[in-house]
């Protein structure tokens, strides 16, 4: 028999942290991201750099509720927060003058969730 609940402890901690932050700051962004992580794993988000490049401009703050993949090029510096990054995606973001951070780091630096674009 198959169980249909999450067992990844880091992911469960992130979901509960997102919900807690949403309650404390009354920011609906964190609740939305928590709900996205609660979906089945087969519906998890994977975003290529080409899509991020297409829908962003310089100095944007991007949140990907899933994994950032390295297909495509990034032509401007961005700050990207995601659950995980492929090695090539991280290298290309840094090479373009941008920075990578975890979702937990984004919560710590921007508790209200201001000026965050969700891609994915």
What pLDDT, on a 0 to 100 scale, did the predictor assign at position 41? 86
> What are the sequence ranges of the domains in the chain?
9-118
Cα–Cα distance, 47 to 3 (Å, whole number): 27
Q: So what's the architecture of 9-118 in CATH? A: Ribosomal Protein L15; Chain: K; domain 2 (3.100)
Q: Model's pTM, two decimal places? A: 0.92
CB 119 within 8 A of CB 62: yes
What pLDDT, on a 0 to 100 scale, did the predictor assign at position 3? 72
What pLDDT, on a 0 to 100 scale, did the predictor assign at position 68? 97
What pLDDT, on a 0 to 100 scale, did the predictor assign at position 104? 95
Cα–Cα distance, 69 to 46 (Å, whole number): 7
Provide the sign of the torsion angle of the four alpha carbons 95, 77, 33, 69, taken in this order. Answer: negative
Averaged over successive runs of 10 residues, the pLDDT of the chain (120 residues) comes to: 82 95 95 94 93 95 96 95 97 96 96 94
Cα–Cα distance, 24 to 4 (Å, whole number): 29
């Amino acid at each position: 028999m198959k169980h249909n609940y999450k067992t990844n402890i880091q992911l469960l901690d992130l979901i509960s942290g997102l919900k807690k932050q949403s309650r404390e700051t009354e920011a609906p962004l964190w609740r939305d991201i928590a709900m996205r992580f609660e979906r089945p794993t087969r519906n998890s988000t994977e975003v290529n750099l080409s899509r991020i490049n297409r829908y962003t401009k310089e100095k944007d703050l991007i949140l990907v509720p899933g994994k950032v993949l390295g297909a495509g090029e990034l032509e401007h510096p961005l700050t990207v927060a995601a659950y995980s990054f492929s090695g090539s995606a991280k290298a290309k973001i840094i090479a373009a003058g941008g920075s990578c951070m975890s979702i937990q780091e984004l919560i710590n630096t921007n508790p209200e969730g201001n000026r965050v674009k969700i891609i994915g």
